[in-house]
Amino acid sequence: MEKLRWGFIGAGGIAKRALYPAISKSSYGEIYAVASRDRDKAYTISPTGLIYTSYEELLADPKVEAVYISLPNAFHLPWAIKAMRAGKHVLCEKPLGMNAAEVREAIAVSKETGKLFVEASWNRWHPRSQRIQELVAADKIGKVERIRSAFTYDGLDDGNIRLDPKIGGGILYDLGPYSTVAPLWIMGFPPVQDLKAQVVWHKSGVDETTRLNYTVAGAKAETVASSNIQLSHWLIIEGSKGSIRTGGNDSFNSHNNPSSLITEVKGKTKIEHFEACDPYQLMSDAFARRVRGKKDWVMPLEESLRFAELFDAGFAAMGRP
């Protein structure tokens, strides 16, 4: 198939580390243009050298078919809507919006324009994540009773944009799309009940450690996301007949490294090994093929909306200032 011509809006760290190498290796897409306020940054991820210092100019380029948005969180929704109205398909970094109302607005624009709009929750494309869903759906560990998940790191300085409330900072928006939402996709997105929150606020006003506990389809979900706890990952699913857990310390960030999954049922342990892969490439390739009319899986917008609704409930339970 003809390669999808991508335009990047934003040239920050995630674009350079993740989507730039993913699309550069792809047989289904190419980076046609990059728009950034910083021309020097843009040149580092624009193989063709086509640079715009105005996002509007990139959107006006008729050769750009799809855009990848990696701006600070608060700017995701407005530029996604502008891009779709300009006739572009959109792959947008998580979160899609600052609340569920914004996500609903973007979904309406996607339907109105007929443009593909997908949240770049790359971990969902990882074969291990998909295998977890398969095992739970197949009742391999019986009725799920408890899910424990965590994604934490320590090391943000006070000037980091993740700590700036004016541009959508906070750990729930940063790591919540991994650990906090995992019980939702594992259980197939039933309604959330009995949500409780514990939070540590940063002096800037954003959450730096958030624990959300809730019930989903009868299972107790215990989740942690933090930017002030030593790097740690876990994902443990406990059922009436056994358990599933990710091996190693990479439950939500296995990228270009081998990974494993451990299932224990009635005293018998099975370890599944997954070859190193680039889930960002799996995601961007699926997106490109979908634009070209193929039937590849991309994360439905309805799932992004359920994530946003969970975050809204979490912030309400925290009493966000």
Catalytic residue among 82, 94, 203, 294: 94
Query: Among this protein's residues, is 94 annotated catalytic?
Result: yes
Place of tokens 């996709």: 185
Q: What is the DSSP letter of 219?
A: E
The overall longest dimension of the chain from CA atoms, in Å, is 61
- Distance between CA atoms of 278 and 286, rounded to whole angstroms? 12
Is residue 150 a contact partner of residue 281, using CB atoms and an 8 Å limit? no
The Cα 282–Cα 308 span in angstroms is 24
Phi, psi for residue 235 in degrees, rounded to 5: -145, 110
* Assigned token pair, 50: 């086509």
Preceding omega of 95 cis (within 30 degrees of 0): yes
Query: In degrees rounded to 5, what are phi and psi of residue 175?
Result: -105, -15
Give CA–CA dist 229/153, Å, rounded: 5
> DSSP strand E in the chain: where?
4-9, 29-35, 51-52, 66-69, 89-92, 117-119, 144-154, 192-201, 207-216, 219-226, 228-239, 242-246, 259-265, 268-274
Interatomic CA distance for residues 231 and 245, integer angstroms: 18
Cα 204 vs. chain centroid, distance in angstroms?
A: 24
CA–CA dist 120, 122 (Å, integer): 5
- State the catalytic residues: 94
